[in-house]
Structure 1
C-alpha cells in the first residue's frame, strides 16, 4: 500500500518536473572530461530527491546554479523513477553558493588538501567525491568504509552509548535503579541518529542500516530472534516501500548484500573465538568480489588490504572523529595522502551479466546448504589467481 502511494507521488512529481521551465539545483560534482578530442564539463546536479547529469562547455565555479533542461519530452517515467538520469541543458546561470552549516565547515576547514577534504566530507557527512578519489578507494576495495552505512551507525551508536552510560549509571543508582539502561539510552541515541540522517540526507546504505537498527531494537525489546534473514527482508521491504527508487540504487544493493553475507556466515557457522571472527571478515570480503566487479570492474591485489583495513576502521573512525572535535583533524593528512596515492598493478575486469546473476542465485540457494555457501564464496578467489598469472 505504502509502495503504491509513494510510486503515485513519484509520478506526480515527474509530471510537475516536466512542466517546470527553470530549475534551481545544487552541483554535487563538476569535472572536466575529454573524449574524441573534445573537452567538456560533466555536472552532477541534485534537484529535490533526484540526481541529474548534464554537460556544458562552460566552466562552472559555483555549487548553486539555475538552468533549463532540453529534450524533457524524451524523459520517461521509468528513467525519472530511478532518480538518476541525463538531460542536456542550456542557459546556465551561476547563483550565490550554498554554504555548509557551521558544524560541517568546522570539520572540513581543518584540511587544506582538496582530496582529503572530500574524503572526510564523505566519511562524516555523505558528501559526493570526485572520480579520482573514487578510483583511489576502489584500488583498496574500501568503498563500504567511505559510504556511510551500518558500519558507521554501529560505531556512532557505541560511542554515544559509552559516553552516555557513564552519566546514566550515576543517576540510575540513585534515582531509578528499576530502569533499563539499554532501553533509555537506545531511545536517546536513535533520536541523535535520526538527526544525523536528516543532516546527511537520503543515503541508501545509511537508511537501510537505520531501519534495520530500529527493527533490531524492537526485536530485542520483544525478545524476537535478531540475526535472521527475515530481519533483513523486512528492512528491505520497508525501505523500498518508503522510497521505491531504492530498487535501482547500487549502494542500497551493496548494503543489503553485505548484510546478507554476514547473516549467511552466522547462519552456518558459530562465532565462538577470534579465529571465527577473522574468518567472517575474510568470507564477507570475498563474497562481495563478484558483485563489486560487475559494477566497478577494477581488480588489483591491493584490494586484499581491505581485509585488514576494515577491522582497523573500528579504531580509525573514532580516532579521526575525536581529532576533528578538538580541531586537530589534519594530523593524519600526510599519511592519508600517501596512502591514497599508493597504487599496485590493476586491470579492468568486467564480470559477465549471466555469471553475476548466477552468482546471486547460488548465494540465495546457499542459505539451505553450508557447502554450497563455502563454494560460492570460494569462487571469488579465482579472480586473484587469474591476476597472479598475468
Structure 2
C-alpha cells in the first residue's frame, strides 16, 4: 500500500534526507487483520521499501539488527542487490554480537558486492537486551579499540591484540576490498563520555528518535566540542538525527508509530532513562508506565515489552506517554508540517535527517517537498 506516485516522488538525489527501514519488530507474513502499513511489517516489504527509498531519492537507508528475522547482512544484502546508489547502513548492530573478523568480513563483502556504499553503524546496546543472550555491553575503550582493529583488518593488516576489545593472535582477512573502507558511525545520545569516544574513533553519529530539537542541539554541541578538544575538525563528524514521521496518517497509526514506540524505549531502563534525561522530561510518567507494564511483561515471560509485543498491542499503555512529549520530538500532520518539523533538526545542527517508523513510500510527499524547501533560508 505505497503512497508514492508520479506527482509526489522525487527524482532528485537528496543529500540530507534518509530513511529507516522496518523499525521495530517484523513478521514473516502480514496478518490478515492488519489495518495499516506500519502496524506489522514483513521482511519482504522492508526490502521493497529499500528499493522505493532509492527511487524517491533518499540518501541512505538504515536497518537495525535483531537476532530473529532481522539479521542485518542478509537484509542489507537483499536491498543492495535491488539498488544501485542508496547508502546501506546498519543502524545499529552491537559489537558484542559479532566477532571482529565476522564484522570486518561483513563490511568488506558489502563493499565488494555493491560498491563502496556500506555504512557500519555500531551501538553499545541496552544491557537488558544483551544479558539474556549471554552478552554484555562494551565499554567505550573497548568499542574504540574494536573500530581501530576493524580498520586495520580492512587495510589487510595482521592484528595481534590483548585488551578491552578481546584477545586476538595474528588475525587477518587475507582477501580485502581494494577501495575505501566502510564508514563507521556510532549510535548515541551524545553524552560526554560517548562524545569523547566518537571524536576519537568514529566517522559519524546516529542520534536516536524522540529527541527534541533542543536535545539535538545540545548533543551536537557536545560532539563538536569533543572533536575540538582533540584538534579534530568538528565538521568531519557527520551527524544524523532520526525522527519519527507520520505525514498525513490517521490518529491510530500516528499513535502506534510514536506513543507505542515510545513505550518500548521508555520501558528499557538504560535507554529510557537516557532519553528522559536528554530531553529534560519528568521521570514520573516513565515510572508510572513501567509499573503499568510490569504485569504484562511477567505474563509474556520476557524482560522487555519490545521483544514480547508488536506496537499495535501497546496502544493501551501508550496512553500514559504524554502527548506533548511526542509532539515536541516527532513530525506529525501534513507533509509540509512534517518538513517544517524535520527542518528544525537541521537548524539544530544535524547534517542529515532519517525518517523513522513510517515507510519511505509514506514519506514520498515529504521527500518531494524537501527538495523544494530545504535549500531555502530558514
**By the TM > 0.5 criterion, same fold?**
no
Which protein is bigger by CA-based radius of gyration? 1
Identify which of structures 1 and 2 has the higher relative contact order when contacts are C-alpha pairs closer than 8 Å and 6+ apart: 2
TM range (shorter): under 0.3
Q: Which has the higher helix share?
A: 1
TM-score, normalised to structure 2, is 0.28
